[in-house]
Structure 1
Amino acid sequence: MEKKVTRRKFIKRTIGSLFSAVIAGTGGYYYARDIEPKFLQINEHTIKHAAIPPNFHNLTIVQFSDTHLGFHYDLNQLTTLIKKINSYSPDLIFFTGDLMDEPNKYEDIEQIPGILSELKASIGKFSIYGNHDHGGYGSDIYRTVMEKSGFDLLLNESRKVEKNSDTIYISGIDDAMLGKPDIQTAVANIPPESYNILLSHAPDLADTAKNFHVNLQLSGHSHGGQIQLPFFGALVTPPFGEKYYEGFYEIGEENPITVYVNRGIGTTRLPFRFLCRPELTIFTLQSES
């Protein structure tokens, strides 16, 4: 059965078509294709919470997402990104999905682990599946690459992270579009008093995560829409990234969770970004104890 197109989606698609027609005949086309997709923005944020233990005070986390290698993003750019990430001397590094645009068609796949292995984190590196990591029979390909690269790939499971006598938990779920996410299983063994960071490629799963023991959810997937217009926002957002598509959100009334949606590094479908720069995010945890 054909899906019903809402009025808002129809308007967005119409404006998107008009926007594409405009930039095709102006300097905006050059900017959106050749300038902004390479104009990396570094966003630094502080996360304060009473459940963050004292020994994790000022801990540094770097999140990067959606590189989409092979679709207008190459290994030289990835190498530069790795150097930038390392310059922050992170304690934890999170990759929130979509490493390659089409895993089974990427010709330089054997070179990726050598590059990602250069990422240094004093405590650990964690990753999850995105929809493109599953697509094109890529599930096993992606797992092999991430494990060779020194990442702990979380699939509906959690890890206890210790620093001196204190602990926090990192949980990760499968992709919503092509996988089988299970938040309940992922957080099942986490003590209720512990601080838990959930990695979910799909931002909109936060509406489910709010019902479980999650303090902070980090996501990608949406690319911020890739193309935004003033006063209108993102023109096109993907399934499971339509409601929460960029930046911070507080979700839930009782013990609300904080959600952060990273705009990603690369592009997909269209090689454009407009008013939606690629993003690298640096978080600093602060204890309120």
Structure 2
Amino acid sequence: MKHIRKKTLLGTAVVAGAALLGTCMWALQSALGISQYDIALPQGMEGLDGYRIVQIADLHSANLEKELEQALEQLQPNLIVMTGDLVNREDRDFTQALSTAALAVRYAPTYFVRGNHEVDNPDYARLRRGLEEAGVTILEDEGVVLDYHGTALNLVGVKDVNAYPGSRWKATVAMGQTAKELFVDGAYHVLLSHRPSLLETYGACGADLVFSGHAHGGQVRLPVLGAVFAPDQGFWPQVTAGVHTAGQAQVVVSRGLGNGTPFPRLWNGPELVAVTLRSAESFPENG
């Protein structure tokens, strides 16, 4: 009888251990996922139909080059945007980040804005030089007008609010005003800004499309319940992934590729975002 009980307990322990191991492997999924979104163009911007923008967010010096190369080969973007935290604040070796940047440039014109980790990194000037040498264009409260089939796309990049002097409130107001002043008439306005929590500011500044990251998808995404915590938003944050509406703006939030904290990402694999701009006639819902 005791022998049977021991075998039963052993069997239960093995099953429980296997279930725990399976759960951990599921939670720590590391395969690169691609999230693709179709964004409707406003009237008058139909010339941008089919224009594809790929977002590289929050790499944090992770090595995902093989997976990224396969994804970029598949997606064939017209434009690549990097929305900050390409490295960690403590990094001094930028080899991986710069190699990933050079990979991106091979596939499309690539633009970069700083995240809070670059703001805090004392060697940022060296990283900036390396990015420029790799062919990346850095937007520090700057804009550029790109032409596609005769239609203008105005790409604007603003500094992270931590790079502005004064209080967070004053920095946010200054950032929104800067973006507004850089938008030009007759163009589709795309804004690169690291933090997704500033929806009200994005909606008020006149942007049509915003790319951000920073929240790491909530770091831990519990099945059914969703994101657990994000900087600037606290517990059970609402703006950590996907597409959100703020005024006329569509705000695209990437879960990011790497990890800037010792705490692991759980149920939250690395994500590459691809946005395709669509005219009303070609929008999938109307197809």
TM norm. shorter chain > 0.5: yes
Query: What SS is found at the alignment partner of 2:267?
Result: coil
Q: Which moved more, 1:121-130 or 1:59-68?
A: 121-130
CA contact (8 A) 1:49 1:288 kept: yes
Please say which structure displays the higher CA radius of gyration.
2
* Corresponding position of 2:241: 246
- Going from structure 1 to structure 2, the CA distance change for 1:140 and 1:118 (only over 3 Å counts) comes to same
Q: How does 1:68-83 map to 2 (within 5 A)?
A: 68-69=60-61, 73-74=62-63, 77-83=64-70
Name the aligned partner's letter for residue 106 of structure 1: R
**What is the Cα deviation at residue 233 of structure 1?**
2.1
TM-score normalised by the chain length of structure 2: 0.78
CA contact (8 A) 2:176 2:202 kept: yes
Select the structure that is richer in helix: 2
Question: When the two structures are aligned, how many residues end up with a matched partner?
Answer: 253
CA contact (8 A) 1:52 1:168 kept: no
**What is the Cα deviation at residue 186 of structure 1?**
2.8
- 1:223 maps onto 2:216 in alignment: yes
**What is the Cα deviation at residue 126 of structure 1?**
1.0
* Corresponding position of 2:79: 92
- 1:113 maps onto 2:98 in alignment: yes
RMSD, aligned CA: 2.6
* Corresponding position of 1:234: 227
Query: What SS is found at the alignment partner of 2:111?
Result: strand
CA distance in 2, matches of 1:171, 1:99: 18
* Corresponding position of 1:272: 264
Alignment deviations for residues 135-154 of structure 1 (CA, whole Å, 9 cap, x no partner): 23143133223212211111
- Going from structure 1 to structure 2, the CA distance change for 1:164 and 1:138 (only over 3 Å counts) comes to same
- 1:131 maps onto 2:131 in alignment: no
Name the aligned partner's letter for residue 245 of structure 1: T
- 1:146 maps onto 2:131 in alignment: yes
Q: Which moved more, 1:51-60 or 1:209-218?
A: 51-60
**What is the Cα deviation at residue 249 of structure 1?**
1.0
**What is the Cα deviation at residue 201 of structure 1?**
0.5
Q: How does 1:152-191 map to 2 (within 5 A)?
A: 152-179=137-164, 182-191=175-184
**What is the Cα deviation at residue 64 of structure 1?**
1.4
Match of 2:47 among 38, 44, 55: 55
Query: What SS is found at the alignment partner of 1:288?
Result: coil
CA contact (8 A) 2:143 2:156 kept: yes
Name the aligned partner's letter for residue 240 of structure 2: Y
**What is the Cα deviation at residue 119 of structure 1?**
2.1
Moved over 6 A (4+): none
TM-score normalised by the chain length of structure 1: 0.78
Q: Tell me, which stretches of 5 or more residues in structure 1 are unaligned?
A: 1-22
Identity %, equivalent residues: 26
* Corresponding position of 1:26: 20
Query: What SS is found at the alignment partner of 1:214?
Result: coil
Alignment deviations for residues 16-48 of structure 1 (CA, whole Å, 9 cap, x no partner): xxxxxxx9x93244544xx41x22111111111
Q: Tell me, which stretches of 5 or more residues in structure 2 are unaligned?
A: 1-16, 165-170, 282-287
CA contact (8 A) 1:162 1:168 kept: yes
